[in-house]
Amino acid sequence: VSCHAQEAKGYAQAQTKGTTTRSNTSVSVSDSNETYSYSAMFDKSKTKETISEIEKAFGKSQKEGHNYVWRDGDILEIRAREGKISIEFDKGSTEIYTKVKNLGEEISAVINGK
């Protein structure tokens, strides 16, 4: 008997600051037995800080077009560009999973201004 637990979290947030600046943030997380995926769209002004968080965890990126990319073999791919980040991780290593999950939480804190 196979038991597949899946957790999905999603929320959207819109903030208005002053009269002209508007920020939209969207985060989607899927954490199943086999994979962990994270995607976020956010205010472009937070891009540098989010890339810094990724570099703290996974080192320097490779540049592919407009994307900053981090890879660990076939099990992990992180893509970042202005206002957008995606993480795809095929579970296997508990150590990397913990790093990836913590990274997702750190990025969410940055883009939500906490």
Contact, 4 vs 33, CB < 8 A? yes
Which residue type sits at 99? K
Tell me the torsion sign for CA atoms 51, 57, 63, 65. Answer: negative
- Write the CB contacts of 9 (distance below 8 Å, at least 6 apart in sequence): 27, 28, 29
The number of beta carbons lying within 10 Å of the beta carbon of residue 69 is: 14
In whole angstroms, give the CA distance from residue 97 to residue 6: 15
What is the pLDDT tens value at each position of the chain, 114 positions in all? 444 444 444 444 444 444 334 458 899 999 999 999 999 999 999 999 999 999 999 999 999 999 999 999 899 999 999 999 999 999 988 889 999 999 999 999 999 886
Helical H segments across the chain, by residue range: 47-58, 94-111
- End-to-end Cα separation, the chain, in angstroms: 42
Structure pTM?
0.77
pLDDT at 92: 84
